[in-house]
Amino acid sequence: MFVVYFSRKRENSTIGPIKANAELEELAVPKPKISWRQNYSHLRFTSVSSIIEDLIARKVFNNRGEETIEVDVITSGGFGRAAAPAGKSRGKAEVIYYPQGGVDAAVKKVDDLIAPELAGLNADFQEEIDSTLHELDGTTDFKNIGGNTAFVISLANAEAAANSHGLLLFQFLGGNAATTLPYPLGNCISGGAHARGKAPSIQEYLALPHGAETFLEAQIANTQIHRKIGDTLKKKSTNFNGGKSDEGAWIANIDTEEAFEVIAKACEEVGNGLDFECGFGIDVASSSFWKQKEEKYVYENEGVKRDTAEQLEYMLSLIEKYHLAYVEDPFHEEDYESFAELTRKAKNCLICGDDLFTTNSERLNNGIKINAGNAIIIKVNQIGTLSDAAQTIETAQRNGYDPVVSHRSGDTCDWHIAHLAVAYKCPVIKTGVVEGARIAKLNELIRIEHFLGNRAKMADLKIR
Ligand code: PGA
Ligand code: ZN
């Protein structure tokens, strides 16, 4: 079949009607480029339908009502779309989200600078697309084009390539061997930077139903745990009004210790009812309450301060008392040594770095040298591109770190991380339990599990 696509007209653009499946000579390429010529030699291994025809950027909104960027990548025979998330408790080493001028400036950069450069390249070559983004930016932290701009182009490109080949994203990135589903790590109680008023200093209390045999069962367990916690909080206090954070976790006037009791009981009861083990864990997000001047972790709501040694003891006591399956960022983002000490001493628990590593393979390598943890949060927009994140995942897996692919607190109904978890065999996905932006990802995993049928299996998780 002969299909003709018309791209949006852009000033100075030579992009006109593009003919898919036509002779290469007939393709209207904006200008000859080295990279196009390099791709030309590979074309018999790929598909003419993957040639990028145009990029369209727009301003949309995340679940906090904040402006964010969305990009469509249109190839001769396919289409991909991605929207960017935003963190609230960001690591210092993350890339910069937007150029000066915010989302509007980022959209303009896509229109004026990036789209003309990428048009004509082959979406199949993800690394080339991503290195072009680095070149166009010219800095180490995506200050010029914006890390979120790079993120949306990179993800939309991967989806467009998959779509051009008639494949789903996880199939395109992971091949036939991509058949394992991650365990959902679901936020049930919010504190710290994600809450308001009197709430626990620890940022997240997360259910992890690691005994479930299927993803669907695991998500059923998480929804039951979340609901039970809501019921308990209502019984505990007449002040509880059912408030939830951006991630859909409950916000309540309880202290750090009470929150542990509530989630521990809910996990136990739901586990008994479903006949498999429901563990839980925490994201301490301790950089947000580490006071460098005092060299103490200040648990404001509890009126307690802990120095590094006391924080280590406290974390170990929590792991032991509540059999925690997962502890994220127990120490501030520069304290690799304490991460290593906790990893040495803790038993059957994932010790995970988020702000510590910021999905950055160099920072991960610093950790690997001294065994600072055994798991790493993967948030692609911390580093900017899919290729960079994939490199970090590979480094993690080669060195025995479990990659935990994650949403951000400010997120959209974009579901790409569901596919990344399956494609890259991440044993855990951290994406809340309820709330639209979380459900978009969780339901996509249910669809993937359904699609895989009896080839689907749950990931091999260390703590199981
Ligand atoms: P975020 O934090 O608000 O930066 O997304 C979530 C987290 O710390 O895991
Ligand atoms: Zn975190």
Per-residue model confidence as pLDDT tens digits over 360-415: 999 999 999 999 999 999 999 999 999 999 999 999 999 999 999 999 999 999 99
> CA-CA distance, 266 to 225, in Å (whole number)?
5
- Which residue out of 62, 63, 88 has the highest number of ligand 1 atoms within 8 Å of its CB and is therefore the one to mutate? 88
> CA-CA distance, 410 to 390, in Å (whole number)?
22
How many other C-beta atoms lie within 10 A of the C-beta of residue 176?
A: 7
Question: What torsion, rounded to 10 degrees, do the Cα atoms 50, 51, 54, 55 define?
Answer: 50
Q: Packing angle between helix 126-137 and helix 34-42, nearest 10 degrees?
A: 170
Angstrom distances, CA of residue 315 to CA of 23, 110, 307, 319, 329: 64, 45, 12, 6, 11
- Which residue out of 284, 354, 430, 441 has the highest number of ligand 1 atoms within 8 Å of its CB and is therefore the one to mutate? 354
Q: In what order do the strands lie in the sheet with 296-299?
A: 290-291, 296-299, 304-306
Q: What local confidence, expressed as pLDDT, does residue 393 receive?
A: 98
Whole-number Å distance, alpha carbon 245 to ligand 1 midpoint, is 12
Ligand 1 pocket check for 226: Cβ under 6 Å: no
DSSP secondary structure, 400-450, as one string: TPEEEEE--SB--S--HHHHHHHHTT-SEEE--SSSHHHHHHHHHHHHHHH
DSSP secondary structure, 239-301, as one string: T----B-TTS-B--S--HHHHHHHHHHHHHHHHHHHTS--EEEEE--GGGGEETTTTEEEEGG
Q: What local confidence, expressed as pLDDT, does residue 301 receive?
A: 86
> CA-CA distance, 409 to 386, in Å (whole number)?
20
Q: What local confidence, expressed as pLDDT, does residue 237 receive?
A: 83
| pLDDT surpasses 60 at 33 | no
Q: Which residue minimizes the CA distance to atom 4 of ligand 1? A: 87
Assign 48 a pLDDT band (cuts: 50, 70, 90). Answer: confident
Give catalytic status of residue 320 as yes or no. no
Ligand 1 pocket check for 90: Cβ under 6 Å: yes
Task: Spot the catalytic one: 94, 128, 159, 247.
Answer: 247
Amino acid type, 119: A
Whole-number Å distance, alpha carbon 407 to ligand 1 midpoint, is 8
> CA-CA distance, 298 to 291, in Å (whole number)?
7
Ligand 1 pocket check for 407: Cβ under 6 Å: no
Amino acid type, 313: E
Helix, coil or strand: residue 347: coil
| pLDDT surpasses 80 at 231 | yes
Q: What is the pLDDT of residues 235-286, one digit of tens each?
A: 998 889 999 999 999 999 999 999 999 999 999 999 999 999 999 999 999 9
Q: How far is CA 16 from the centre of its chain?
A: 36
Task: Spot the catalytic one: 228, 379, 425, 430.
Answer: 379
Q: What is the pLDDT of residues 276-319, one digit of tens each?
A: 999 999 999 999 999 999 999 999 988 999 999 999 999 999 99
Over its C-alpha atoms, the chain yields an Rg (Å, rounded) of 23
Ligand 1 pocket check for 88: Cβ under 6 Å: yes
Q: What local confidence, expressed as pLDDT, does residue 238 receive?
A: 81
The mean per-residue pLDDT over the stretch 39-60 comes to 80
Whole-number Å distance, alpha carbon 371 to ligand 1 midpoint, is 23
Closest-lying ligand to the alpha carbon of 94? 1
- With contact defined as beta carbons under 8 Å apart, do 229 and 264 qualify? no
Residue with tokens 């993957």: 50
- With contact defined as beta carbons under 8 Å apart, do 181 and 449 qualify? yes
Close Cβ partners of 23 (under 8 Å, ≥ 6 residues apart): none
Rounded to two decimals, what is the model's pTM? 0.91
- Which residue out of 62, 63, 89, 411 has the highest number of ligand 1 atoms within 8 Å of its CB and is therefore the one to mutate? 89
The length of the chain, given as a count of residues: 464
Assign 21 a pLDDT band (cuts: 50, 70, 90). Answer: very low
Q: What local confidence, expressed as pLDDT, does residue 128 receive?
A: 97
Q: What local confidence, expressed as pLDDT, does residue 410 receive?
A: 98
Give catalytic status of residue 379 as yes or no. yes
Whole-number Å distance, alpha carbon 208 to ligand 2 midpoint, is 15
> CA-CA distance, 85 to 151, in Å (whole number)?
9
Ligand 1 pocket check for 130: Cβ under 6 Å: no
Ligand 1 pocket check for 379: Cβ under 6 Å: no
Q: Packing angle between helix 386-398 and helix 126-137, nearest 10 degrees?
A: 120
Ligand 1 pocket check for 89: Cβ under 6 Å: yes
| pLDDT surpasses 50 at 440 | yes
Please tell me the chain's helix, strand, coil percentages from 3-state DSSP, rounded to the nearest 5.
Answer: 45, 20, 40
Q: What is the pLDDT of residues 377-386, one digit of tens each?
A: 999 999 999 9
Q: What local confidence, expressed as pLDDT, does residue 463 receive?
A: 75
Ligand 1 pocket check for 85: Cβ under 6 Å: no
Mean pLDDT computed over every residue of the chain: 91
Amino acid type, 59: K
